[in-house]
Structure 1
């Protein structure tokens, strides 16, 4: 059985998008992470080394979003999933990238893409 660790609403400022003004001016992106991990070892040991250090993970995800602009949120979501899967305790990662200020000529509340990727062990 796999447990789930969620970190939701990670706010980042990135310069991603197809349009030049998006790359120049940047905008807020919000990231939700759900990770498949076995929490039994950490529950038994009460030791951070036996689980995912989500503080460090969030810092790495923020760095991944806030550097190296790309055109598509699909590319950005894959980059974030790759960061999450670097941890040897992560079996799979579900990443949602929200782009609430996407340049759409309509009233809307959010644009979001969710991907799920498995680690290399699976």
Structure 2
């Protein structure tokens, strides 16, 4: 994906069901999402009109809905599902999605566990 215009959203937190362990499927846990949305922002920069850009408030609502209403075993699938939803806006050229468990279920002391993926309209790229 070429360098260019980005809309960045950091630290969107919502309770969702995601995990391979039985206890992770029984209760929601806090999940944190970061997005870097690639879009051409030139028109909005000229017009100062919300209709000429990707409405990040609407994106936040969509992402929160995915996290809170759908169930996943893997962070990888949750991240891919979020990317699908964000790419449903035709103005979005690509998106990098990072998803983190804020309380990972491991015996070691770990602040977070997470994945980061990048998806574009043309296909998949390593993130």
Q: What is the TM-score normalised by the length of structure 2?
A: 0.91
The equivalent of 2:61 in structure 1 is: 59
CA contact 2:102–2:111 (8 Å) conserved in 1: yes
Runs of 4+ in 1 over 6 A off after TM superposition: none
Distance in 1 of aligned mates of 2:121 and 2:14: 24
CA distance in 1: counterparts of 2:42 and 2:30, whole angstroms: 36
Give the structure with the larger strand fraction.
2
Question: How far off is 1:119 after superposition?
Answer: 1.8
Q: Within 2, Cα distance between the matches of 1:9 and 1:75?
A: 19
Partner residue, 2:96: 94
Distance in 2 between residues matched to 1:7 and 1:110, nearest whole Å: 18
Question: How far did residue 55 of structure 1 move?
Answer: 0.3
2:18 and 2:74 in contact (8 A); partners too: yes
Cα shift at 1:18? 0.7
What is the CA deviation profile of residues 31-70 of structure 1, one whole-angstrom value per residue up to 9, with x for unaligned ones?
0000111110011111111101000110000000111211
* Counterpart residue number, 2:46: 44
User: Match for residue 106 of structure 1?
Assistant: 108
- Aligned to 1:66, the other structure's residue is in SS state helix
Q: Tell me, which stretches of 5 or more residues in structure 2 are unaligned?
A: none
| Structure 1 unpaired stretches of 5+ | none
TM-score (norm 1): 0.94
Aligned twin of 1:26: 28
Q: What CA RMSD, in Å, does the superposition of the two structures yield over aligned residues?
A: 1.3
